[in-house]
């Protein structure tokens, strides 16, 4: 198919599970984890690589990150799209409502694709092949999600349970939250559960109707903020007073867990949400001992560890299955199997009023571009 698909990238998250690298002022989507551009830039390039069909590309991001956003947009053809800046974060339901409103006002009842800004996906070709497979049920008025067949009992992802399959498109039975390990193991063995990628495809009119049925307060508040927005060459800006009045909840809670007839397309691409140091260990370039080493690091007799130094020399001996991440003002150390729990530290720091969760030291900004310089000894 080559019909218009209006694409929106959600880039409002903080990525606290990758603290101390990811901060409020410099979240993970702006980091380069593989040496070929930031997560956001790679997401935008993937959308721009659609083989055929009109694909305007929009970005929903925090107003405070406007400068970083424009740096990542440089040189990209957005095909008539552009940035929409949130004056404050109101979670993903507001972002999807905003995407739907923008599409209806400019493109009518077109197909809308909403993707996170910070996921690792194998190739643009495989990605778009999966999206085009979802265009058929989406065009028929169904809300479409994309699932990944689990390869291990993962506790860091939400899951989708599916029922009947028709021509490669499954009916969704239910969405389930991140499980504990025992529950994740039963999901893996059942064979009817998929990891939820957080990628959505739908007709703008179908999503508008879903908001009208299940979350009319979110729709009304987002519409009020959108109608009062101002635009200039740098993007669209909404008034803080109106935008902050939008109820803050996820699109999963507001719509997807309540709507009927949702379709799931199995994703034909490799995917990782890079939501933990374990995930970066899984996808990063590793040495003979299974370590991923980034920065000015000396590692001796270490195995299966993620060791990252931002700036000053970091040295480690005899470490196995650990994450060590050192920035100018903070150091994090944990077994990689516990790396999903970083949020607990972030929550404790925030309760104490510590600034290390919010701001990146100026020194780190300077050396970030050279983070791939390595010094490794075994």
Gap between the Cα atoms of 255 and 172, Å rounded = 13
Ramachandran assignment for 67, one of left (phi > 0), alpha (psi -120 to 50 degrees), beta (any other): alpha
pLDDT at residue number 363: 42
Half-sphere exposure of 209 (CA within 13 A, CB side): 11
pLDDT at residue number 1: 56
The label of the residue with tokens 């109707």 reads 209
Q: What pLDDT tens digit does each residue of the chain (378 aa) get? A: 578 999 999 886 666 778 787 777 777 777 777 667 778 888 898 899 898 889 999 999 988 888 888 888 888 888 889 999 999 989 999 999 999 999 999 999 999 999 998 877 878 888 999 999 999 999 999 999 999 898 888 887 889 999 977 878 999 999 988 888 899 898 888 888 999 999 999 999 999 999 999 999 999 999 999 999 999 888 999 999 999 999 999 999 999 999 999 999 998 787 877 778 888 888 788 899 999 999 899 999 999 999 999 888 999 999 999 999 998 888 999 998 887 788 788 888 888 888 777 777 654 443 343 343 343 444
Counting other chains too, the contacts that 320-326 makes at CB distance below 8 Å and 24 or more residues apart are 323/277, 323/278, 323/281, 325/20, 325/21, 325/277
The backbone torsions φ and ψ at residue 119, rounded to the nearest 5 degrees and listed phi first, read: -110, 145
- Of 101, 88, 262, residue with least CA distance to 172: 262
pLDDT at residue number 35: 66
DSSP 46-77: HHHT-SSS---EEEEEEGGGHHHHHHHHTT--
What letter would DSSP give residue 162? E
What letter would DSSP give residue 372? T
pLDDT at residue number 371: 41
pLDDT at residue number 354: 80
pLDDT at residue number 283: 78
User: Could you tell me the sign of the dihedral formed by the alpha carbons of 208, 211, 216, 218, in that order?
Assistant: negative
What letter would DSSP give residue 253? I
The pTM assigned to this predicted structure is 0.85
pLDDT at residue number 14: 64
User: Could you tell me the sign of the dihedral formed by the alpha carbons of 41, 255, 173, 341, in that order?
Assistant: positive
Half-sphere exposure of 313 (CA within 13 A, CB side): 7
Gap between the Cα atoms of 8 and 81, Å rounded = 9
Gap between the Cα atoms of 244 and 222, Å rounded = 9
pLDDT at residue number 370: 39
Length of the chain: 378
Domains and CATH numbers, the chain: 5-272 (3.90.550.10), 277-368 (no CATH)
């Amino acid at each position: 198919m080559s019909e218009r698909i209006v694409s929106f990238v959600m880039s409002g998250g903080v990525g606290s599970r990758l603290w101390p690298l990811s901060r409020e002022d410099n979240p993970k989507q702006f980091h380069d984890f593989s040496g070929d551009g930031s997560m956001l830039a790679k997401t935008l390039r993937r959308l721009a690589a659609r083989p055929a069909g009109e694909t305007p590309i929009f970005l929903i991001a925090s107003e405070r990150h406007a400068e970083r956003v424009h740096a990542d947009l440089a040189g990209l053809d957005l095909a008539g799209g552009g940035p929409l800046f949130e004056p404050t974060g109101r979670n993903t339901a507001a972002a999807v409502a905003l995407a739907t409103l923008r599409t209806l006002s400019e493109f009518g009842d077109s197909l809308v694709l909403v993707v996170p800004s910070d996921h690792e996906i194998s190739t643009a070709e495989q990605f778009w092949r999966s999206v085009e497979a979802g265009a058929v049920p989406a065009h028929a008025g169904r809300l479409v999600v994309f699932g990944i067949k689990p390869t291990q009992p993962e506790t860091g992802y939400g899951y989708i349970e599916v029922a009947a399959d028709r021509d490669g498109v499954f009916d969704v039975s239910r969405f389930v939250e991140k499980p504990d390990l025992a529950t994740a193991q039963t999901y893996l063995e059942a064979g009817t559960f998929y990891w939820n990628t957080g990628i959505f495809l739908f007709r703008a009119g179908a999503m508008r109707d879903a908001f009208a049925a299940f979350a009319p307060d979110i729709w009304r508040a987002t519409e009020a903020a959108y109608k009062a927005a101002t635009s200039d060459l740098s993007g669209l800006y909404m008034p803080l007073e109106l935008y902050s009045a939008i109820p803050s909840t996820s699109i999963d809670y507001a719509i997807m867990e309540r709507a009927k007839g949702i379709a799931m397309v199995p994703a034909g691409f490799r995917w990782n949400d890079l939501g933990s140091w374990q995930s970066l260990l899984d996808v990063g370039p590793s040495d003979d001992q299974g370590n991923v080493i980034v920065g000015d690091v000396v590692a001796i007799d270490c195995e299966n560890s993620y060791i990252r130094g931002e700036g000053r020399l970091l040295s480690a001996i005899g470490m196995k299955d650990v994450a060590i991440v050192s920035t100018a003002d903070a150091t994090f150390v944990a077994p990689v199997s516990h790396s999903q729990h970083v949020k607990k530290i972030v929550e404790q720091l925030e309760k104490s009023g510590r600034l290390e969760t919010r701001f990146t030291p100026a020194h780190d900004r300077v050396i970030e571009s050279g983070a791939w310089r390595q010094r490794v000894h075994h």
